[in-house]
Amino acid sequence: MPLTGRRLAQLKGIGVGELRRVGPRKATGLAQMEIETVLDLLTHYPRRVADRTNEAPIASLEEGVEAVVTGEVQRSSSRRLRNGRSLAEVVVADGTGSLTCSFFNQPWRARQFETGQRVTVFGKVSLYRNRRQMANPLIDLVGDQTGRLVAVYPQSHKAGVTSLELNRYLEEALDRAKDFADPLPAPLRAELELVSRTAAFQGIHRPESLEQWWAARRRLAFDELLRLQVLLVWRRRADAASARGIAHLVPGHLLDRFLEGLPFELTTAQRRAIVEVRADLAAGHPMNRLLQGDVGAGKTVVALAALLLGIEGGYQGAFMVPTEVLAEQHFLSARRLLGELEIEDEDRLGGNRPVMAALLTNRTPAAERSRLLGDLASGAVDLVVGTHALISEGVDFARLGVVVVDEQHRFGVEQRAALREKASLDPDLLVMTATPIPRTAAMTVYGDLDHTTLDELPAGRAPISTRWLPGERQERAAWKRVLDEVAAGHQAYVVCPLVGSGGAEEEEPEDPDELIEEDDEDEGDGVVELFRRPPDEERRPARAVTEEREALASGPLAGLRVGLLHGQMPAREREPVMAAFRAGELDVLVATTVIEVGVDVANATVMVIEDADRFGIAQLHQLRGRVGRSSLQSWCYLVTAETVSEQAEHRLRALVTSQNGFELAEEDLDLRGGGTVLGARQKGRSDLKLANLRRDRALVVAAREVAERIVAEDPSLSGDYGLLREEVEATVSEEERAFLFRS
Ligand code: ADP
Ligand code: MG
């Protein structure tokens, strides 16, 4: 292959210290920022570009307009205001006049700039006591750089490296590298309307126009996505080619009896899913399938169907879930749904024996555990439900055939590998998500799996009426509904974020607002929101489940039978509470998010979520899905303080407006960006520095298509795509590489 120009793998071998402008001290600083090689430097992308196109003299600025000025810092200071907030001011002058930039609650701003430094400021002009001001403008150190567009880099005070210096290093690196080898042939680039690699590196770091910058960004983001997709497509092929799969070829009597015994008809979507799963199981290569479906779509039945097909052929099934409560719950519903199901056994009198199901978690008592381990190793247990304990040391299966993972994004490549180790043949794997995830995210995170979607809810489900109740007065509506529904013989849940007022926030410490991606690149449009989230002191303290139970039982819900459930209770205390609620011996269950997934009580018709602004969209949707599980009308109340952050308001409104998990997932992506969707599974997995699952939805789809095409054309990527292969290998994480070379 004719290759001219620098290759990424080559640049990865050149230390930044080799640049003339980088001395040993700065090299150390750069290393602290994880910029060690010229490749690291080139892929240290600008956060945005300062656009000085419409620069104006300060004296000409009129109130209310958005403007760009360049000038020198005259002074900067910070002080506390009477209301406790702090105010930092940076005064900038350009010879025609001066401008005060003010920043609330960002005292570090005053330290960021020194007198005499040249900065560019972008913001909206206001007049205060006849002085020109900008509140929270974008302010960038530009130094002596000329040019209309200046790239602004993530910089580090601690490492002592400024955006300005990065600019100079990049200038040298780009000048010396000149040309970059392009892994995509020109015709493919033309088809995809992508600029060349050389134009892309130039355009992202030294743009001559905003169009150029966006085109560069698009190309580089595409490259990131393509490398990832090539990897995923490769892995899928490797999985499929694995010769150790099991062909589960059974008549399906056990499955038929199971389905006949169900108290309901399958939905069309469930039928279709079972057909797909069955075909996978029958094939000689291991199944690797993702099952997505909205809350309440009936994924459990599909999972059990898969497990039973394996069990009928004499294999064992494992059902793995993320939490103990969920394991207990799934174990119970598996037992209930399996009922008196019998499996043919010629060694027995009468030729039948019951399907043996067991539960294994870290809480399983030692004696029971060792008995159970024996039964798993001997094959006496057909189906085991459990947590990650299932893939721990010492758990051995006689004939593990089918594995279902109810995942919630906590089950990654390593766990899959660990499970494989447990069996001599590769078990078939079905991964289920708790709530739908957006299409582009599914392609990225689960791009190595086949997909099945349950896009239909069982018939006769009444919609859940959802209301947001801000403030204590409105909250009463929720308690009134609980009283009415209990009087009508139904039950209710109340969910609080904390366990006790000590503040232990058990399952999901994530703060949904905290996870919003910084969207600097949009700032070119002048859209900046620096205060998306109210400062902590303005948030009311979260309610704790133990105290709330007392308060409710002696207050608005006096006279009702109110139970308590949280994850820090030992299992032996939790089980009777769940059992009592299921049996209708409790009217109300006050709980933490332990009830988020899997809890299934059709008679419950009211869900009250306190401090609902503290939860993310997917979590709220999942919690709401605990009601509306029958044809009874159900209600969901989102209780919050009088005011919530703007982001929280968007989330709550989304919940009120839509009950469709697929729609909400897209909405969540719009609001929060890809990071949260990818979560831990994505971390350290690849190099998505520029690509953004929200903004680049179309690119994700394109990258997938191209990856499929390329791998089909040149499976080992040794021909035209040799350079692409080299890049995948050079940019992929260690963990990922281990996988790559294994297959
Ligand atoms: P999810 O997809 O959220 O995991 P589940 O599998 O927990 O949903 O099912 C939700 C409830 O709906 C359960 O009570 C289950 O028994 C019931 N269910 C499942 N499939 C059907 C169906 N086809 N018709 C009626 N009810 C169903
Ligand atoms: Mg479920």
Sequential DSSP letters for 115-180: TT-EEEEEEEEEEETTEEEEES-EEEE-TT--SSEEEE---BTTTTB-HHHHHHHHHHHHHHH--B
- Provide φ and ψ at 67, rounded to 5°: -145, 160
Instruction: Return the pLDDT at 453.
Output: 93
Distance between Cα 233 and ligand 2 center (Å): 28
Please tell me the number of the ligand nearest to residue 303's CA. Answer: 1
- Kindly give the residue spans of alpha helices, DSSP state H, lying in 587-660: 617-624, 646-657
Residues 549 and 564: beta-carbon distance below 8 Å: yes
Distance between Cα 404 and ligand 2 center (Å): 12
Checking if the pLDDT of 406 tops 80, the result is yes
Mean pLDDT of the chain: 85
SS3 191: helix
Checking if the pLDDT of 413 tops 70, the result is no
Among residues 25, 30, 82, 47, the alpha carbon closest in space to that of 690 is found at 47
CA dist 446 and 146 (Å) reads: 46
CA dist 320 and 386 (Å) reads: 5
Residues 182 and 194: beta-carbon distance below 8 Å: no
Give 241: exposed, middle or buried? Use CB within 10 Å, 0-12, 13-18, 19+. Answer: exposed
Instruction: Return the pLDDT at 537.
Output: 38
Instruction: Return the pLDDT at 607.
Output: 97
Ligand 1: atom nearest CA of 265 is 23
Residues 512 and 615: beta-carbon distance below 8 Å: yes
Instruction: Return the pLDDT at 243.
Output: 62
CA dist 369 and 394 (Å) reads: 11
CA nearest ligand 1 atom 19, residue: 298
CA dist 594 and 324 (Å) reads: 9
Mean pLDDT of 184-195: 96
Q: Fill in the amino acid letter for 69.
A: V
Query: Which domains, ranges and CATH numbers included, belong to the chain?
Result: 8-47+172-202 (no CATH), 53-147 (2.40.50.140), 253-283+298-433 (3.40.50.300), 464-658 (3.40.50.300)
CA dist 412 and 437 (Å) reads: 16
CA nearest ligand 1 atom 5, residue: 298
Q: What residues line ligand 1, using a CB cutoff of 6 Å?
A: 264-267, 270, 293, 295-301, 458, 600, 602, 629
Question: At 511, is the pLDDT very low, low, confident or very high (cuts 50, 70, 90)?
Answer: very low
Checking if the pLDDT of 66 tops 80, the result is yes
Q: What is the CA radius of gyration of the chain?
A: 30
Mean pLDDT of 563-589: 89
Distance between Cα 347 and ligand 1 center (Å): 35
Least confident of 265-274, 625-634, 726-735: 726-735
Instruction: Return the pLDDT at 731.
Output: 82
Probe target for ligand 1 pocket from 600, 626, 632, 634, with the most ligand atoms within 8 Å of CB: 600
Element (H, E) at 616: none
Probe target for ligand 1 pocket from 271, 299, 301, with the most ligand atoms within 8 Å of CB: 301
Higher pLDDT, 187 or 139: 187
Residues 370 and 392: beta-carbon distance below 8 Å: no
Distance between Cα 302 and ligand 1 center (Å): 10
Higher pLDDT, 58 or 162: 58
Question: At 193, is the pLDDT very low, low, confident or very high (cuts 50, 70, 90)?
Answer: very high
Among residues 164, 146, 154, 150, the alpha carbon closest in space to that of 207 is found at 150
Please tell me the number of the ligand nearest to residue 267's CA. Answer: 1
Distance between Cα 623 and ligand 2 center (Å): 12
Checking if the pLDDT of 681 tops 70, the result is no
Checking if the pLDDT of 347 tops 80, the result is no
Percent of the chain beyond pLDDT 70? 88
Least confident of 310-314, 465-469, 675-679: 675-679
- Kindly give the residue spans of alpha helices, DSSP state H, lying in 425-513: 439-445, 472-487
Ligand 1: atom nearest CA of 297 is 2
Among residues 157, 232, 587, 223, the alpha carbon closest in space to that of 413 is found at 232
**Beta-strand runs (E) in 268-387:** 288-293, 316-320, 342-344, 352-354, 357-360, 383-386
Q: Tokens in use for 544?
A: 């704790």
Among residues 311, 308, 273, 268, the alpha carbon closest in space to that of 290 is found at 273
CA nearest ligand 1 atom 18, residue: 298
Distance between Cα 252 and ligand 2 center (Å): 23
Q: Which residues contact 464 (CB under 8 A, 6 or more apart)?
A: 607, 624, 627, 628, 634, 635, 636, 659
Among residues 564, 567, 494, the alpha carbon closest in space to that of 327 is found at 567
Instruction: Return the pLDDT at 212.
Output: 95
Instruction: Return the pLDDT at 539.
Output: 52
Among residues 484, 495, 628, the alpha carbon closest in space to that of 560 is found at 484
Ligand 1: atom nearest CA of 267 is 23
Higher pLDDT, 486 or 388: 486
Please tell me the number of the ligand nearest to residue 300's CA. Answer: 1
Q: Which residues contact 366 (CB under 8 A, 6 or more apart)?
A: none
CA dist 358 and 311 (Å) reads: 14
Distance between Cα 436 and ligand 2 center (Å): 12
Distance between Cα 595 and ligand 2 center (Å): 11
Instruction: Return the pLDDT at 289.
Output: 93
Instruction: Return the pLDDT at 1.
Output: 45
Distance between Cα 636 and ligand 2 center (Å): 19
Higher pLDDT, 505 or 630: 630
Question: At 534, is the pLDDT very low, low, confident or very high (cuts 50, 70, 90)?
Answer: very low
pLDDT tens-digit series, residues 263-301: 999 999 999 999 999 999 999 888 989 999 998 899 999
Ligand 1: atom nearest CA of 460 is 25
Higher pLDDT, 669 or 42: 42
Higher pLDDT, 587 or 439: 587
Question: At 686, is the pLDDT very low, low, confident or very high (cuts 50, 70, 90)?
Answer: very low
Please tell me the number of the ligand nearest to residue 293's CA. Answer: 1
CA dist 594 and 616 (Å) reads: 15
For the chain, counts of helices (H) and of strands (E): 25, 23
Q: Tokens in use for 656?
A: 């009120």
Question: At 442, is the pLDDT very low, low, confident or very high (cuts 50, 70, 90)?
Answer: confident
Distance between Cα 107 and ligand 2 center (Å): 47
Q: Tokens in use for 591?
A: 């709980």
Mean pLDDT of 347-357: 81
Distance between Cα 644 and ligand 2 center (Å): 31
Instruction: Return the pLDDT at 144.
Output: 78
CA dist 116 and 118 (Å) reads: 6
Please tell me the number of the ligand nearest to residue 408's CA. Answer: 2
Mean pLDDT of 571-585: 88
Element (H, E) at 103: strand 98-104
Give 713: exposed, middle or buried? Use CB within 10 Å, 0-12, 13-18, 19+. Answer: exposed
Residues 142 and 150: beta-carbon distance below 8 Å: yes
Probe target for ligand 1 pocket from 262, 300, 662, with the most ligand atoms within 8 Å of CB: 300
CA dist 422 and 389 (Å) reads: 13
